[in-house]
Chain A
Amino acid sequence: MKILIIEDEEELIKSMVSYLREENYVCELAKNLESALIKIGMYNYDCILLDITLPDGNGLNILKYLKKHNKLEGVLIISAKNSVDDRIEGLLLGADDYLPKPFHLPELSARIAAIVRRKNFDGNTIVHFNEISVDTVARVASFKNEPFDLTKKEYELLLFFIANKGRVISKNAIAEHLWGDEMDMANNYDFIYTHIKNLRKKLIEKGSQDYVRSIYGMGYKFTDK
């Protein structure tokens, strides 16, 4: 999987690259509009991470370029300007998703995975983890083809875990993924705990291994190791 990161903030690039590399994504960088356009002109990517505010212009120009040249890259806008207008404009210009800064890396990873899934033209919309498979179109998860009876939140949680498999996900990242940040769930991790407990129970009931590890007090890891 090849990803182009168009972003001008050095440290943020390093973090993203470091996290995404683990996911076996190949990351390429463009720190301004000009080099981004050159790279897009030369190569094809599975997904483009696009910061709108670039030193030499508006990142939305990339979207216009892609549209004009009928390029089908998935685009995830990562923007410091969390405004609905920007979001709408970006989505209208053909972006696939919009992630406001500051974001959690697991969230970024999950969003990229979703875009790649959607853009994958071999019709592979099913995510696998050992015997567990998640049909992201039907929104059904199953163990050895036997569907789990998951609630909406538990389904989202499972998908989030699989997108970040083998990685420690902080409770904060999980809370933001499940409830968004506008609900102000500040420091109330009991909800996460309840959902994780229920998900684990349902997985084990079907005969699955217990993949969810609690990592000290910091977060959780979905792993078979």
Chain B
Amino acid sequence: MKLLNKYSRAHIITACIVLLVSSAVYYFIIRSILLKQIDKDLKVEEQEIIDFINANKSLPHASDYKHQQIKFEVLRDKKQFRETINTIEFDEREKEYEPYRRLSFPVEVKGVRYKAFVYKSQVETEDLLRLIMILTATIFIVLSILMFIINRFVLRELWQPFFNTLSQLKNFDLHTHRQLILSKSSVEEFEELNKSVFLMTEKVSNEYESLKAFTDNASHEMQTPIAIIRSKLDLLIQSAHESQEDQLQAIYEATGKLSKLNQALLLLTKIDNHQFGNPKNIKFKRLIEEKILQFDELLKAKDLKLTHNLSDVCIKMNSELADILLNNLFSNAIKHNFPGGRIECILNENKLSVSNSGPQLSFDKMKIFERFQKRNNSDGIGLGLAVVKEICDASGFTIAYLYADRQHTFNVMF
């Protein structure tokens, strides 16, 4: 649920509860105030009646005005009483029952005890209350709508810096070396968030840069020792003894592998550092045909059947990278193939697809382009496809891997 909705919901629920409770309390307080007012009027009336009786020694006329009635009844029992109650009386004029406040008290005229009733209509009170309640409800509804609008628009406006920061973060890419452009905010919290985000991304970028520099330096520093080992080996075998054959061969192979690893790492850092510029239009069909010739021996050795369907297309990319891309794709298709297997190469304007028969992967296929990911018994270095992926990324292509019917397919989408 969006923060905005959550916030609005909490706001509206709280407002509802507060308004309901407060309007109930409001109702009872106002009602009791109004009743007190009526009771006061009733008492004034009582005093007037008593005064009248004292002055005239007779009962005043029972009266029936619109909102006030006075009645007398002969009292039979001796009990003294005085009470104020709410009753409902039939109104002759209005022809309906209406709420009244009734004060009853005893009076004595010439030794006869009477019970005097003074009625006061509550209709006005009720009307007033109703009016007040309607007003309250109206205010409540208007307030809710206003709050909703405020939440929608004002809050959205308020949160804008947050969403800006969020979209900047979403587009944050370590490879581009681009600093985040965070808009200034007058809100302290957002300003703090921006500061933290900025510091964090700077730190991440710096760490990444130093890691990259480390790989770069390490690979470069490794080259000279490898070159020395290799040259010493070339000298060593001049005078080697037969018994050293296995050891020397193993060292040769290990050095060769180390050297390849080193070259691949250097290549990856170079691609990362965008050191391959100036893309040119490359006649891919011709390049692929050259590669097929170049790999001919390897194909024949494994008795692989290569079929291709190549359109005459030009692809804009760095020529060295194009060469490495094809080398790695073909090497991969040959290496991980069955003897007597198939390789199919399709080239058209949209994509280059290289597929080969071969055993299923021994690892998660999502990891196929990860560095050092290789089949358990593979003697490769596990960087070939990582290089392919990097080249595709650097050239603005996308690459996808599929496995179906014992067929591995790599699709490079231009």
With A170-B233, A191-B297, A218-B245 as contacts: A82 and B224 at CB distance below 8 Å: no
Beta-carbon contact of A186 and B301 below 8 Å: no
- CB–CB B234/A182 < 8 A: no
Asked if A219 is an interface residue, CB under 8 A from chain B, the answer is yes
B226 close to A (CB within 8 Å): yes
Asked if residues B235 and A83 are in contact (CB atoms below 8 Å), the reply is no
Of A63-71, A90-98, A101-109, A126-134, which stretch is located at the interface? A101-109
Question: For window 327-353 of chain B, which residues contact chain A by CB distance below 8 Å?
Answer: 327, 331, 335
Label chain B's interface by main secondary structure.
helix
Q: B249, A217: Cβ atoms under 8 Å?
A: yes
Q: What separation, in Å, do the CA atoms of A218 and B244 have in the docked complex? A: 9
Docked pose: A57 CA to B224 CA in angstroms = 18
Is B263 touching A218 in the complex (CB atoms < 8 A)?
no
Flag if A12 contacts B224 (CB, 8 Å): yes
Known pairs A16-B231, A102-B230, A170-B233; A183 contacts B260 (CB<8 A): no
A183-B298, A191-B297, A215-B237 known; A172 and B253 CB under 8 Å? yes
Asked if residues A184 and B384 are in contact (CB atoms below 8 Å), the reply is yes
Is B69 positioned at the interface, with any CB of A under 8 Å from its CB?
A: no
* 0/1 interface trace, chain B 314-337, chain A, CB 8 Å (1 if under): 000000100110010001000100
Most buried by B among A16, A84, A216, A217: A216
The answer to whether A216 and B301 have CB atoms under 8 Å apart is no
Alpha-carbon distance between A218 and B234 when the two chains are bound, in angstroms: 10
Partner of A9 from B224, B259, B297 at Cβ < 8 Å = B224
Say whether A83 contacts B224, CB under 8 Å: no
The answer on a CB contact under 8 Å between B223 and A101 is yes
Chain A residue nearest in CB terms to B331: A184
Chain B residues with Cβ below 8 Å from A19 are 231, 234-235
Q: Is A190 an interface residue (CB 8 A)?
A: yes
A103 touches B230 (CB 8 A): yes
Total interface residues in chain A, CB < 8 Å: 39
Map CB proximity to A onto B231-253 as digits: 1 under 8 Å, 0 otherwise: 11111011010100110110011
Q: Does B112 contact A (CB under 8 A)?
A: no
Q: Could you tell me the distance between the alpha carbons of A217 and B240 in the complex, rounded to whole angstroms?
A: 11
Q: Is A80 at the interface (CB under 8 A from chain B)? A: yes
Which residue of chain A lies nearest to B241 when distances are taken between CB atoms in the complex? A216
The yes or no answer to B270 lying at the interface (CB within 8 A) is yes
A12–B234 CB distance below 8 A: no
**Which B365-414 residues have C-beta < 8 A from chain A?**
379-380, 384
> In whole angstroms, what is the CA distance A173 to B230 when docked?
10
Minimum C-beta distance from A133 to chain B (A): 26
Asked if A110 lies at the interface with its beta carbon under 8 angstroms from chain B, I say no
Q: Which of A110-169 contact B (CB under 8 A)?
A: 167-168
**Contact yes or no, B380 A186, CB < 8 A:** yes
Q: Give chain B residues whose Cβ lies under 8 Å from the Cβ of A172.
A: 252-253, 256
- B212–chain A nearest beta-carbon distance, Å: 17
Establish whether residues A18 and B235, one from each chain, have CB atoms under 8 Å apart when the complex forms.
yes
Contact of A35 with B by CB under 8 A: no
B245 and A216 contacting across the interface, CB-CB below 8 Å: yes
Asked if A89 CB lies within 8 Å of chain B CBs, one says no
- Minimum CB distance partner of B248 in chain A: A218
A71 and B271 CA atoms in complex are apart in Å by 37
B266 within 8 A of A: yes
User: Is A34 an interface residue when CB atoms closer than 8 A count as contact?
Assistant: no
**Is A56 positioned at the interface, with any CB of B under 8 Å from its CB?**
no
Q: Are A103 and B227 in contact (CB under 8 A)?
A: yes
Contact with A along B212-228 (1 / 0, CB 8 A): 00000000100110111
Distance of B271 from chain A, by nearest CB (Å): 12
CB of B165 to closest CB in A, whole Å: 40
Q: Which residues of B contact A191 (CB under 8 A)?
A: 297-298, 301
Residues of B within 8 A of A218 (CB): 237, 240, 245, 248-249, 252
Whole-angstrom distance between the Cβ of B120 and the nearest chain A Cβ: 106
Closest to A178 in B: B297
Inter-chain CA distance A216–B247, complex, in Å, is 12
Does A24 interact with chain B (Cβ within 8 Å)?
no
Q: How far does the alpha carbon of A100 sit from the alpha carbon of B238 in the complex, in Å?
A: 23
- Please determine whether B238 and A167 come into contact, CB atoms closer than 8 angstroms: yes
- A-B residue pairs in contact (CB < 8 Å), sample of 20: A11-B231, A15-B234, A18-B235, A80-B220, A83-B275, A102-B226, A102-B259, A103-B227, A103-B230, A104-B230, A170-B252, A172-B253, A185-B298, A186-B253, A186-B260, A186-B380, A216-B240, A216-B242, A217-B246, A218-B249
The 3 closest A-B pairs by CB, nearest first: A15-B231, A102-B227, A105-B234
Chain B interface (Cβ within 8 Å of chain A)?
220, 223-224, 226-235, 237-238, 240, 242, 245-246, 248-249, 252-253, 255-257, 259-260, 263, 266, 270, 275, 294-295, 297-298, 301, 320, 323-324, 327, 331, 335, 379-380, 384
Name A residues whose Cβ lies closer than 8 Å to a Cβ of B.
9, 11-12, 15-16, 18-19, 80-84, 101-106, 167-168, 170-173, 181-188, 190-191, 215-219
